[in-house]
Amino acid sequence: MAFQDIRKSRKYLSATDIGFVLGVLILLGALLVLNIYLARELEGGEWLFLRWSSVRAALSDQLEPYGSTIAERVQLLVYGREAFLSEYPYALNDPLYIVLLYAPLAWLFTDFAIVRGIWMSLSQVALIGIVLLSINLSEWKPPVWLVVALTAFGLFNYLSIDSFLSGSPAIFLTLLYLCILVALRSFSDELAGVLLCLVAYQWELGALFFLFVLIFVFANRRWSVLAGFGMALAVLLIISFISNSGWAISYIRAVVFDWNRGADQSFGTTLAYIFPSLSFPVGRWIAMIIGVVLLFESIRSVNEHFRHVAWVAFLTLAVNPIMGFAIFPSNHVVFIPAFVLVTALAWERWVKNRMLVSVVLLAIVFLFSFGLYYSQGLFTEMSLYSDLLKILPPVLTTIGLYWMRWWAIRPPRIWADQFGVRK
């Protein structure tokens, strides 16, 4: 091709495209300004403050990021005092290579309100990504109005609002899990392995998801995933030890301390508070039964169509809080993909009334999340309200997934089913 032909074939942005890009940038700028304002006016951001202040303390004050000094600063933000032994200590328990991801925010900004505003803006964008990827993994093509409704639900339900106001990384971790599933489906195995390294960030969210991905990888002999995981982990560990050679011992000590202090936040302990008359460890028995069921579901799904795989993956995220890890309501945003999948399956199941069913599902879940929050005044004991807020979302999400299990695990619809739909 001649040079003149190459010049003629080059594509330029039209005025419409430029206007669209500028409009998006203006919208994001306005969103950032609004979130910085909200960050100064609203309480919260404790989870972000924990990581950001840890990095800043390490960079400027030469303090140990896993030390008690940082935890005490966060406790003052959350409780207005140091935490009691029965309360969560907010001690850093992330691997150092995860903590270093916060370094740009800690290095560039000294005003936490600005940092929190940036985090909230990115969280809201990530929530949109969660909804869109969940729709994609559900192998569903809903109408535009329903995509908009689901996006609005993802942004404005109480679980999402609680998550990004508290500075929880759960939103980004949920997006991470979905990206891993998309990478596995598209056979981008090295990328899936690299992303899998970051799942160590908050095991109370993704421990079972991590194990399920390993089962899937070994069952399908997708060794490139392990290669990508190993190489990425090696690089991240080298960077961590160069930054702080003694971090591993402090990290392990912090994990053990956090596990012991977080035991009061577990599903079994919460059930014991609600039902003090129970004379046996019901939480432990429930965890064992769920573990066996989940192992069965995982093994059965590894060679099936990918929506079946996605269903099991979402199930691991739903039951993970029930398995003995500490439960925090700010992490419940991880249930959004499961809800999208249930809505997709209901759309396929009830063809004649699909619009009504979808709207009703959206309304019920949306109102339930806010209703549970605003009903706290009805409880004479705030501890009971807090316990219900912790355990009801994972339990109901699990029930919802099993409600639609048959339609999720069955093979893609045959032509006879499609004929019936058209008819």
Q: What is the pLDDT along the chain (423 residues), one digit of tens a residue?
A: 454 554 455 556 677 778 878 888 888 888 899 999 999 988 888 888 888 888 887 776 666 777 777 777 778 877 778 777 667 777 777 888 888 888 888 888 888 899 999 999 999 999 999 999 999 999 889 999 999 999 999 998 888 998 989 899 999 999 999 999 999 999 999 999 999 999 878 888 889 999 999 999 999 999 999 999 999 999 999 988 888 787 888 888 877 776 666 666 777 777 777 777 766 677 788 888 999 999 999 999 888 889 999 999 999 999 998 887 878 888 899 999 999 999 999 998 888 888 898 888 888 888 887 777 666 656 556 566 677 778 888 989 999 999 988 888 876 554 344 434 433
In 3D, which of 400, 265, 257 has the Cα closest to residue 319?
Answer: 400
Predicted pLDDT at 264: 65
Long-range contacts of 310-314 (CB under 8 A, 24+ apart): 310/137, 310/138, 310/181, 310/337, 310/341, 311/341, 311/401, 311/405, 311/408, 311/409, 312/212, 313/177, 313/181, 313/209, 313/212, 313/213, 314/338, 314/341, 314/401
pTM confidence score: 0.87
Predicted pLDDT at 62: 66
Kindly report the backbone phi and psi dihedral angles of residue 220, in degrees, each rounded to the nearest multiple of 5, phi listed first: -100, 5
Predicted pLDDT at 380: 56
Domain ranges of the chain: 26-414
Residues in CB range of 203: below 8 A, 6 or more apart: 210, 325
What secondary structure letter does DSSP report for 61?
I
Predicted pLDDT at 341: 94
Q: How far is CA 231 from the centre of its chain?
A: 25
Residue with tokens 């916060």: 102
Say if residues 115 and 138 touch (Cβ distance below 8 Å). Answer: no
- Tokens representing 391 are 């355990």
- Tokens representing 131 are 């909804």
In 3D, which of 132, 150, 125 has the Cα closest to residue 24?
Answer: 125
- Tokens representing 5 are 């032909």
Predicted pLDDT at 422: 38
Predicted pLDDT at 302: 85
Number of Cβ atoms within 10 Å of the Cβ of 112: 20
